Chain A
Amino acid sequence: MKNIAIIMTVVISLFAFAKADAQKSNLDQFEVQVDGLGCPFCAYGLEKKFKEFKGIKDVKIDIKTGDFSFKYPSDKALSMQAVQDQVVKAGYTPNVSKITRANGKIETSQGKKEEKLGALTSAKLKVYGACGMCKARIEKAMNDMAGVDNAVWDVDSKMLSISYDKSKVSMNAINKQAAAVGHDTDAVKADKSTYNNLPGCCKYRD
């Protein structure tokens, strides 16, 4: 009788673990790079607004980089648009968003169309900024441009390494694109209102 009880306990435990595992694998993973987070009030505010999504799990926010991630039951099929709308509702701007569905399918918010590029030119350009959030904003702005193959900005040196197709995009346009999202280059300055709208941690002018 004692043995039967032990076996039953083991079987029930195995079922419980299996169920927990199944539930775990039935979660979609969301990663959003959020512009405008700078202080704990902002981070907790974003977290609070997302708690309106019942069943949300593993919410993580990095204030320094603006990286925000969470898990959500896949059967609720939470859409990219709903996530981005909720970020806006919390008072912030979503940059790049990525969803890894429980079935392995990946969705991203990067809307850049596939394009065929010709010969690529590599260049380095000084772009003024201050932090990880600046990095995300600058790289998104550049990588979204038609004719740009890849762009990486270094926080310490403030240098943007960019490869692009000269026949499709000019260096002047690249300078203007940086300024359009609030970041000065030596050739083009961001206008005052755009600069003033940057989050506090991104302010780089004296």
Chain B
Amino acid sequence: MKKFLILTSAFVALVSCKKEKELSANTTWEFEKVIPLDGVNPIGIAVDGSDIFLSDGDNNRVVKVDVTGNILFEYDGFERPMHIDFGEAAMQITDKVTTSMLKERALFVPEYGRDSIAVIRDNKRDYLVFKDSLDAPAAISVFKNEIAIADFYNHRILYYNGNSWLTIGKEGKEHGMFYYPTDVQITSDGIYVADAYNNRGQVFDKNGAFKAVFGEGEKMNAATGIYVGAGQIYLTDFENKRVLVFSKDYKLKQELKTEVSKPTDVIVVGDKLLITDYGTGALVQYEATLVDR
């Protein structure tokens, strides 16, 4: 019995060691590999389980790829799809004939050229119902029942808090204003925006009040994509060929440059960080090395 307990303890310890790395503000990233994509110029990335979805704006499609970059499936017929996201917010959708409530998890695709948000489940395509009008939606974020949209030419973020829509920001250079926002992410504690041509990131609370700005001193040039992960915020610096990693208190922690050409978006999956590279038509993969336990 004692031997059995020892063996059991050893097994549990072994399994614990193989537990996923816990990422934190102190995580560092090391270049691992480039995953070439055949004929895809990726802009946005979203992950559903082990499936990777990429928006391919140049080819008006969204593709599902495997970890080696092979295209498994494509949804076509979009007009310049941008930063995509998965979620299951209870929203009104329409197929242009009937209107219904979205009840299941779906892929949300902002169509920059069509001023609409497509909602994809299996092979069914609907559109989010809006009273407001968009002018080049560049990104969407879905978090529980909340939705945020980066409305590029209107220089604002539209935020749905589960009950009503709120407009955040207007055109300008001051804190709390935007100059062509291109990406957005809602988290439990706020709304994070890639304020592309103000070359910075900004954070708002869920009443739309300005909370913080970051990246202003980093000489960024087109902050096109943002992702908020465990303990860190990632901001793509499109023209300077890098992704900047910030802690949640907005201090620069790391600069990812190896094999990065024209980054548009970034996501963390497990202990991997994936960067969509529009310039080379590839995914650039980094791996977490230093992690806190």
Contacts and interface: CB of A to CB of B under 8 A. Distances in A.
A39 B136 contact: no
B152 A45 contact: yes
A201 B279 CA distance: 12
A14 B239 CA distance: 51
Interface residues of B, number: 24
A44 B58 CA distance: 9
B57 A44 contact: yes
A47 interface: yes
Given A44-B112, A44-B136, A203 B224 contact: no
B113 interface: yes
B61 interface: no
Interface string B223-240: 010000000000000111
A57 interface: no
Interface in B128-153: 136, 138, 152-153
A193 to B, nearest CB: 13
Interface in A39-91: 39-41, 44-45, 47-48, 51, 91
Tell me if B's interface is mostly helix, strand, loop or mixed: loop
Interface string B203-238: 000000000000000000110100000000000001
B82 to A, nearest CB: 8
A45 B150 CA distance: 14
Contacts of A44: 57, 80, 112-113, 136
A39 B43 CA distance: 10
B221 A40 contact: no
Nearest to A90: B153
B175 to A, nearest CB: 19
B151 to A, nearest CB: 12
A48 B112 contact: yes
Nearest to B221: A200
Interface of A: 38-41, 44-45, 47-48, 51, 91, 200-201, 203
Given A39-B262, A41-B196, 20 more contacts: A38-B238, A39-B222, A39-B224, A40-B43, A40-B57, A40-B58, A40-B278, A41-B138, A41-B152, A41-B182, A41-B224, A44-B57, A44-B112, A44-B113, A45-B152, A48-B113, A200-B238, A200-B239, A201-B239, A203-B239
